[in-house]
Amino acid sequence: MRIGPYAVIGGEVSLGPGVEVHAHAHLSGRTHVGARTRIFPFTALGGEPQDKSFDGGSTELVIGSDTVIREHVTISLGTPKGGGCTRIGDDNLIMNTVHIGHDVQIGAHCIIASFVGIAGHVEVQDYAVIGGFCGIHQHARVGESVMVAALSGVTLDAPPFSLVAGERATLRGVNVVGLRRRSFPTAVRSEIKRAYHLLFHSKLRLEEALAKARQSGFESAEVERLLTFVEGSARGVSR
- The residues that are catalytic are 102-103, 120
How far is the CA of 13 from the CAs of 19, 27, 29, 33, 34, in angstroms? 12, 7, 6, 8, 11
Residue 183, exposed/middle/buried by CB under 10 A (0-12, 13-18, 19+)? exposed
